[in-house]
Copies of this chain bind each other. A is one copy, B any other.
Amino acid sequence: MPAVEIVEVAARDGLQNENSVVSTAAKLELIDRAIRAGARRLEVTSFVNPARVPQMADAEAVVAGLPRRDDVTYIALVLNRRGAERALASGVDELGAVCVASDTFGIRNQGQTAAESLAVACETVALARAAGRTAQITIATAFGCPFEGEVPIDRVVEMAKRAADAQPREVALADTIGVAVPAQVTEAVTLVAEAIAPLPVRAHFHDTRNTAIANVWAAIGAGARVIDAALGGLGGCPFAPGASGNVATEDVLYLLDRSGIATGYDRALAIDTASWLTGLIGRDLSGKVRCAPPFPPAHGEAGPRG
């Protein structure tokens, strides 16, 4: 089986969706721990309006504090030209641009229609390329919108084609609200991979309805080789007990390790970091492998974890 790259998004998509604001030092510790567990590409922050997203107000400080390593790529999310300029000035390796497949969600989330968000994303890639940096484009709500419901696959494929024209590093399909099912993922990844070849497809899932691991597996089966995940499953809404955020990195590692797919991660270290994160956030996180006995068992007996 081919190797899969996991993009660790806990420090950005995870923390951005937590109610509590975490210190810059704690974010840097999270990033350092993730790298020690094997992460080599990480979303570390977003350059967005601090009045709207106070969790990411320290974007410049986070980037300034990152360990300098030639073997690690740091991504910062941006939603407009001002964010892109801040991100480029910070020196971060890669820009993550986000367009939205649903007009209603786009207007509510970032004040842009689908078409406007796509134009901004393409402009962001051009700015990054002009500055000698890479950038990628994520299509948010690619599998469903909380306001409009089903999102037509044709619209997503068309947006992916136009995004690919801007020459990003890759195009990501994001299940922003965790509604996707694997049959849908198989179809979408297959069609988008055909439409943007030779650019790779990246996939981003939330586990809100318990389908994220199935969707990861379907995406890989359809050709995706880059998967987003957050340690612990960080990013659940703190107002809804049991609600889930991103698919948990350590759960993806269990799936891939036992399927013979290399990721470069150490699962035990990822579980340690997920456990540390529960302490940092002060609540239980939704990842499950962290809470389960190890398998295969260490000494012929069920042990404590993972």
Give the residues in chain B near A147, CB-CB below 8 Å: 297, 300-302
When chains A and B are docked, how far (Å) is the Cα of A118 from the Cα of B186?
A: 39
Contacting B at CB under 8 A, from A196-238, are 207-214, 216-218
Q: Is the CB of B214 within 8 A of A182?
A: yes
- Given the interface pairs A183-B259, A242-B284, A259-B183, the reply to whether A210 lies near B289 with Cβ below 8 Å is yes
Q: Is the CB of B302 within 8 A of A181?
A: no
Q: Is the CB of B209 within 8 A of A149?
A: no
Binds B, one of A55-63, A152-160, A247-255: A247-255
- Given the interface pairs A241-B291, A288-B210, A295-B209, the reply to whether A258 lies near B149 with Cβ below 8 Å is no
Asked if A279 lies at the interface with its beta carbon under 8 angstroms from chain B, I say no
Q: For A207, A211, A243, A300, which residue has the most chain B Cβ atoms within 10 angstroms? A: A211
Contacting B at CB under 8 A, from A164-216, are 177-179, 181-184, 207-214, 216
When chains A and B are docked, how far (Å) is the Cα of A76 from the Cα of B289?
A: 31
Q: Is the CB of A248 within 8 A of B210?
A: yes
Give the residues in chain B near A241, CB-CB below 8 Å: 284, 291
Give the residues in chain B near A258, CB-CB below 8 Å: 179, 181, 183-184
When chains A and B are docked, how far (Å) is the Cα of A212 from the Cα of B212?
A: 11
What secondary structure prevails in chain A residues at the interface with B?
Answer: loop
When chains A and B are docked, how far (Å) is the Cα of A291 from the Cα of B296?
A: 32
Give the residues in chain B near A287, CB-CB below 8 Å: 210
Q: A210 touches which one: B177, B183, B213, B293 (CB < 8 A)?
A: B213
Name the distance in Å between A149's Cβ and chain B's nearest Cβ: 3
Asked if A70 lies at the interface with its beta carbon under 8 angstroms from chain B, I say no
| Nearest neighbor of A240 in chain B, beta-carbon distance | B291
Q: For A150, A182, A251, which residue has the most chain B Cβ atoms within 10 angstroms? A: A182
Asked if A117 lies at the interface with its beta carbon under 8 angstroms from chain B, I say no
Q: Is the CB of B251 within 8 A of A210?
A: yes
- Given the interface pairs A214-B214, A241-B291, A288-B208, the reply to whether A300 lies near B181 with Cβ below 8 Å is no
When chains A and B are docked, how far (Å) is the Cα of A240 from the Cα of B181?
A: 28
- Given the interface pairs A213-B211, A297-B149, the reply to whether A291 lies near B255 with Cβ below 8 Å is no
Contacting B at CB under 8 A, from A269-306, are 284, 286-289, 291-293, 295-297, 300-302
Given A210-B289, A243-B291, A244-B288, output 8 extra A-B contacts at Cβ < 8 Å: A147-B302, A149-B295, A183-B259, A208-B292, A209-B254, A210-B287, A211-B251, A242-B288
